[in-house]
Each structure stands twice: as C-alpha cells, then as structure tokens.
Amino acid sequence: MKKPLAIFLSALAVLFFSACNNNYPAPIPVTDIAFEPPLPTKQLSLSVNTTYQLNAKAKPDNATNTKLTYTSDTPTVASVNDKGVITAKKIGQAVVTIKAANNISKEITVTVTAVPVTDIVFDPALPGNPLSLSVGGTCPLHAKVQPENATDKNLTYSSNNEGVASVDAGGLITAKAVGSAKITIKAADGVSKEVPVTVTTTHIPVTEITLPFGETTISLVNGDTRQINAHAMPENATNKQLTYSSDDETVAVVNDKGVITANGVGSAHITIQAADGITKVITVTVTAAHVPVTSIIFDPPLPAQPIELVIGQVYKFGAKAMPEEATNRKLTFTSSNSSIAWPCGEGNSEVKADGIGEATVTITSDDNPTICKVVHFKMKPKPEIKIKTTPAECESNGGEATFTVETLKGKLDYTPEVVEGGAKWLSVAGKDHTDESTDTVRLTVQTNKTVWNRTACIRFKDNITNEYIKISSKKYLEVKLTQKKNENPNVTVRWVHGITPPKEEEKEKIEVIKNKIPTGTYYDTNYVFYWPETQTTTFFNTRKVDHTHAPNGGYPDGNQCWAKTDANMLHWWFEQNKGNIKKYIEKKGITGNAAKAYEPVYTRGLADNQENIKSSIANLFREKCIDKGGDPANGLQWYLFGLDDFENARSNVSSPALFPDVFNKENTPIDRAAIYTKKEFETTLKAALESQKAVGLNRYGADGTQHAITLWGAAFDEDNNIIAIYIGDNNDVSNKIVPYGIWYKDGVDIYAETEPVIDSNDPHYFNPYFFNYSNNSYNDNHYVGQIITLDKGEAQWAEWKRKHP
C-alpha cells in the first residue's frame, strides 16, 4: 500500500508545481553582442597613451541578463576596464574579448602604434635667423619634438661645416671660424629642421642705446604717431638689432620699426631692447586731441541785470565753458571793483556783496580769451534786526511764549531757530510781521518734567547767507527763555542690583533747614528720605571707626574713605558671587583659616561704637593699609587679584589676591571713568545700573580734596535725567543711606546732544554738583569727579569654570 501511495503523492506534486510555474515568464537568452555605433571591422588601431570606449551591448535589449565582461589577452599592450574603456599602453597587439551570458562573446584585435613626430620647435626661440655667433661663442638650441606625447622624442644634430660651427649631441653649437654653416636637426618619422649659422670675428657687445637729444619722455596727442630714432652703440657692435615693446597698448603701441602710435589718453612705457641685455625706457604721455571752448553758459540762467544783492549776500554763477568735451574748460572771474563785488568760492566762481555800489564781473575762458561774459551787479545795504522785547519766564506746565524783533532798513529774510538742547522742549511756532518795523515770534513750550530750571537759546539765521546773525565777531544775536522747574516731578528710583528697595515705613523724613535753623517742616517729595541700616536691609555701609568712636586697636582710618567704599562694594560682590566662590574654594582645596577670607563677615544691627567689628573686609584694609587717601580702583584690584607696589599697603604686607587665576589687569571686573559733564555722568551711571555693577564715587572738591563714597541708587525724572543719588557716606556718624540732589551750574545746557568744550581755566564747570537736602543748600564746592564700578565678573567666572569643570 505504501508504494502506490508514494507514487500518487509524487505525481500530485509534479502537477502542483507545474501549475505554479505557469505564472512566470520564461528567461530571454542573449543572442548577440552589438556595438553602438557599429564597428566597421573587428580591428582597432590606437596610439600609445590613448583610450577608446567600446560601447558594446548585449542583444536583444530585453534579454534577462545583459551584463558584459571585458578581458585583454595582453594587458601590458592594451588593457580594458569593466566599462569597456581600452587604454593603449605600448606598441604591440592585443585581443580584447567581450563576454555575455549564454556563452556569447566577441573579440576585437587592438593594434597599438607609436605617436608620430610632426614638428621640431625651439623653446625659448632662437635669438636670430640666421643665428649669429662670434668665434669662440656658443649657443644652445633648446629644440624639442612636437607633439609633446610623441613616442620617439630623440633628436640628432649635425653640421655641414664642422670647421665653421660644430654641434654636440645635446644641441650646443660652438663657433670655430668665420664663415657659414647649417645645423640639421633630425627627429623620427622623417621630420627635420635646419638652422643657418653665421660666424663672425670676436663679438663686440652693445654698450648703450642712444636717442636724439636724450629724449626719454614723449608727449603725443591721441591718434598721432612718432618715430623713435634709437641706435645701438658702438657703431661696430656685432649685433645692432633693436626690438620694441609697450607695457600698455591701450595707450600707445610700437611696431618693429620703432614707430609709436597713440591709442588712448594716459601714460605708457616703451622698452627698447638691444643685444647683450642693454635696454632703454621711454615714457609716453598721450593727451586728448584739443577741443576748443566755443561759449559760456549759466546753469541756472542769469536773472535780469543788474543783479541786486544785499551786503554779505553771495551769488553763485553756475558758469560753464562749452562744449562739455572741451579740452580746457577753466574760467577766470575778475571784478571791476572787488571792494563792491568780491570774487570768492572755489575758483572765484561766486561773488559776494562786500560794499554798496555797482560793479561788473567778467568771466573769461582760459582756452580762448575772446570767449567771455560780463555780469552787472548792484549792491544794496542789508536790512538788520535787533531784539525789541524778551519772553517772560515760563511756568513748568509749558504753553506759549512770545517776544518781538525790531526790523531796520527793510525786512530781513531770517528764521528764528532754537539751538542746542533747548530744541528738545522749545519750538518756534511762527513769525508774524506785526508792522513794518516789528516781527512777533511765537514759541511753544513743553512741560518741564525735571527738577531744574531750564534755559533755551533762540538764534536768528540769515536765509541769504545761511549763517546765524552776530552782533559782534564772537557773539550771536540771541534770545534766552527760562522755564521754571517742576516742583512735583514723577520720579523713578533705580537701585543697584541685589538691593531690596525700602518699604515706606523704612524711610525717614528729612527736615527742611533754612539759614542753618530747623523749620519743623519736612520734605514731602517721595524720593527725598534717609534710609537707616537695619538687620533686614541689603545695602552695605561701613563707616570710619574714628568717626563713630569705636576702638581702632591702633589702626586709625580717618583718611581711609577709599577703603570703606571698597569694603561696601566687595561685600556686595561676595554676596552676588556666593555660588562661584564656593566652587572656587572646592576646586582649589582652600580650607581652614585660608577659607575665611573667601567668606567675609558683615554684621548689621550693631551700635555705632561697635563699628570696629562690623566688617571683616574693612578691618583687613584698616590693619594692612596705612591711614592715607587712595584710589578705590587700586584697592579693589589689590584685594581681588593683586597689585604690586600698592602705595597704601603697609610695608612687608602682601596682597590678599584671592582670585589671581580668574581676574587680571587685562581681564578685570573693575573700571573707573573720569567725569566732566552731565552726559559722561549719566551715561556711565546708567550703564552701571543696567549691567548690574556696584558703584563707587569720588566726590571732588573745588579746594582739591577728594572723598570716596558708595552709591546704592539713583532717582530719575520722566525725561530720564538723574536728579538725585543715594549714598553711603563713611564720614557720617549716623548709620544710614543719605540722598543728595544733583544740580548743574547756570548756563549748562542739560539737554545738549554734543559735549561742551571744557575750559582749562574752569574744567569742572559742567560737572554734576551735590544738593545737600540735610541743610537745604546747593553745594558748589562738591561735584562728582569719578565713577568706579565693580562688575560681578560673570564672563571671567564662566571662562574659569570652563577650564575647571
């Protein structure tokens, strides 16, 4: 039973697979190999180092397997790659076989032949034809075959007269006797070349090139020609042939006979070359062909004559010589009476009314003096103005103001203008001709938002001269308008970064003092207050122990205002950099007593007579530095990263220099700026507050004194003027922040865009001065002279942490 069953299953399987195979097409065999384009024969002839692409394809195109393979029976003669590219390598014969599927193949016989020589050339070229040599002289031929890939590059040399000129295997000709010879050079493929040689007696060299009258510069008009009559000297020189060349043929070209042709305006150099390395250079300057002036025109056209001008008025002619392409268009202007009509301006092309009367100005062409124009002028007196009434002082809320101008000798054409900083708050609304002798000027005054009286200046521009009118050589005609200060300005206080602003209950009112007597009334402006230090305040206020009557332990500090200011700024700095300093201590392995310097102590809430234990930094300065005035910036550097020869340090005392690998003199967080003007003061202080820096001030005195104090905030009005500052003064016995108003001397333009010119006789006239609220006085002795800032050093810390991950 098993055998019949097996037979049955086998038959069934055959039927099954036969049925499945009927779903797939039968393979299409390759029947031929064709070439596109067709090869005319089965023979190829190639030169050495050339290639040939076979472009063979299996046929039919829809054959199942169209892959081709290529082989060469002699690849050293002709190789073939898998793309069918044949490369001819050396002379000989090879058979390239192309094979396809289904045992289809074709053979191509490749014959590789040599690359024939077609010419012989000289590189460099022969110096002459025939070649001229003196007895005993030599000349290398420098011959080579062409093309450069010719298979056989060999050359042979021979002379038909060895007694006159011989040649060696390398092509070096040697002149032996006077006479003529021919040197024959032969190459493969029947190519040859002959070089005639003339041998003369001993060579006489060229020593110079002469020109008529030594003419080494030539001027030509564009289009002209000039023959160079140059000669090689001496007369009996062996080779007197000359060649010519130009370094700029767009300007001048020269032919082999030495004829120069001017091609374009400009300058070129003609080089004359003789034998024996002798040269001479001629400079050729080519100018345009002369185009004469034919007329003079005016743009804009002249008005009716006589042209009337008032004294001081300038008239611009706009005269032009024509045509545009004229060679010389220069014009000369002359006056019949320069005290009346004074020629001025560039090339005297303008005329100024300099006196009353009539005169003429003659305009003449330099190219052709017969071409000229005469212009008649009549000069009249100039109208004048003077101030008739001045404007009244304006209230702070602004509005309108007027003043009057008296006009004399007619109506002057003028414009009143607000100059300098006053233009920011005052403008000219109009000018009315009230009557023949009076003008009324109307002004618009904006609200004064600051705490200072302000003054604007109005000047008068002469619309004819476009200059401001003067009443003397150094003084302008001007009107000043003053506006009262704002008694109740809107004020914003900005504190140093990290300082928590005071609450209302922390502010202490300041009593108004008059004539050094308390009045019982207090400032009611919200930005004028004392701010006492408490255990919760965040500013720092170290004071001199000698002023608070705390024990100094033998280390006085009555002159160490710089050190107290530095201590305040450094305590703030250590507070801002707690995280950075902690990482620094860890990375440097600083422990024990050494670590205490990196964790300075500042204790709030102490009695005045305990000031000696309030600040560890102030104590370090007191103990390690002498009691002498100093520079706060130097003290900060000495403490943070070291300062050699610090003049305030006691002898044999080393600098703390806590962070010498984070900061240095070239990469310092400390900056100082000298202050001479409002703009310098506000720009520096605003930048310090915006960039989160601690701020110290040097308060200068007119008597030459200096006092360093710490700034913790500033008050700004609506125009962003700094009107008050909040100071920690180390001279104060009371432990509080004190406000000082800021004011400027009369005549200082607080809105000026440009910096004033500093008078060396009064260099601090433009400085910001202190207003002392505590005694209600303008202090014209004390001013801000310097600002010292201390940056958190974020960029330097980031770089240090990058190097110490």
- pLDDT range class, residue 101, cuts 50, 70, 90: confident
Overall average pLDDT of the 124-139 stretch: 84
| Whether pLDDT at 10 is above 60 | no
Alpha-carbon gap, residue 411 to 383, rounded angstroms = 6
Percent of residues, the chain, with pLDDT higher than 90: 74
pLDDT of the residue at 131: 87
**For residue 457, pLDDT beyond 50:** yes
- Alpha-carbon distance values, 4 to 7, 9, 12 (Å): 5, 9, 12
Rounded CA separation 71/561 (Å): 99
Q: Which residues contact 712 (CB under 8 A, 6 or more apart)?
A: 495, 496, 499, 539, 695, 726, 727, 728, 737
**Residue 17 above 70 pLDDT?**
no
- Taking a C-beta distance cutoff of 8 angstroms, is the pair 565, 540 a contact? no
User: Is pLDDT above 80 for 2?
Assistant: no
The single-letter code of the amino acid at 349 is: S
**Residues 207, 213, 217, 218, CA torsion sign:** negative
Question: What local confidence, expressed as pLDDT, does residue 738 receive?
Answer: 98
Q: 3-class SS at 510?
A: coil
Residue-wise pLDDT for 476-500, tens only, equals 999 999 999 999 999 999 999 999 9
pTM: 0.59
> Does this chain's domain 119-200 share its CATH topology with 494-790?
no
Q: Provide the sign of the torsion angle of the four alpha carbons 109, 114, 119, 124, taken in this order.
A: positive
Query: Does residue 13 surpass a pLDDT of 80?
Result: no
Beta strands (DSSP E) in 515-624 are 517-522, 531-532
* CATH number given to 494-790: 3.90.70.10
Q: Give the CA count within 13 Å in the CB-facing half-sphere of 667.
A: 14
Could you tell me the residue ranges of all domains in the chain?
A: 32-113, 119-200, 208-287, 295-380, 384-483, 494-790
Quick: pLDDT tens for 63-86.
889 899 999 999 999 999 999 899
204 contacts: CB under 8 Å, gap ≥ 6: 234, 236, 237, 238
Which amino acid appears at position 185 of this protein? I
β-pair partners for 46: 112
pLDDT digits (tens, 9 = 90+) for 417-441: 999 999 999 999 999 999 989 999 9
Average pLDDT over residues 595-604: 96
Name the average pLDDT for the chain: 92
* Pick among 3.40.50.2300, 1.10.287.110, 3.30.1360.20, 2.60.40.10: CATH of 384-483: 2.60.40.10
Q: What would the pLDDT profile of 230-277 be if each residue is shown by its tens digit?
A: 999 998 888 889 999 999 999 999 999 999 999 999 999 999 999 989
Q: What tens digit of pLDDT does each residue of 612-631 get? A: 999 999 999 999 999 999 99
pLDDT tens digits for 148-185? 888 888 999 999 999 888 999 988 999 888 889 999 99
Query: Which residues have CB under 8 Å from 588's CB, separation 6+?
Result: none
pLDDT band at 15 (very low <50, low <70, confident <90, very high): very low
Spatial contact of 716 and 722, defined as CB atoms under 8 Å apart: yes
CATH of region 208-287, choose from 1.10.287.3510, 3.40.50.920, 2.60.40.1080, 3.40.920.10: 2.60.40.1080
pLDDT digits (tens, 9 = 90+) for 704-749: 899 999 999 999 999 999 999 999 999 999 999 999 999 999 989 9
- pLDDT at 350 > cutoff 80: yes
Residues whose CB is less than 8 angstroms from the CB of residue 751 and which lie 6 or more positions away in sequence, other chains included: 420, 421, 422, 423, 424, 425, 454
Which of 373, 315, 320 lies closest to 341 in space, CA to CA?
315
Instruction: Report pLDDT for 29.
Output: 93
What is the distance between the alpha carbons of residues 277 and 269, in angstroms, rounded to a whole number? 18
Residue 204 confidence (pLDDT): 84
Q: Name the helix (H) or strand (E) containing 569.
A: helix 561-576
pLDDT for 24 equals 59
Q: Which pLDDT belongs to residue 500?
A: 98
192-200 vs 131-134, strand pairing mode: parallel
Q: Are 185 and 192 in contact (CB under 8 A)?
A: yes
- In CATH, what class is 295-380? mainly beta
In this structure, of 4-13, 65-74, 456-465, the range with the lowest mean pLDDT score is 4-13
pLDDT beyond 60 at 304: yes
Beta strands 769-772 and 777-790, pairing class = antiparallel
Instruction: Encode pLDDT of 504-541 as tens digits.
Output: 999 999 999 888 899 999 999 999 999 999 999 999 99
Least reliable range by pLDDT among 25-39, 342-356, 560-574, 639-653: 25-39
Average pLDDT for 90-108: 91
What are the b/e assignments for 57-75, b being 16+ CB within 10 Å? Answer: bbeeeebeebebebebebe
| Alpha carbon separation from 23 to 16, 17, 19, 20, 166 (Å, rounded) | 12, 10, 8, 6, 90
What pLDDT score was predicted for residue 109? 94
Range 119-200: architecture per CATH:
Sandwich (2.60)
pLDDT confidence of residue 288: 85
pLDDT of residue 23: 54
Tell whether the torsion through CA atoms of 419, 422, 425 and 430 is positive or negative.
Answer: negative
CATH of 32-113, one of 2.60.40.1080, 2.40.160.20, 1.10.10.60, 3.40.50.720: 2.60.40.1080
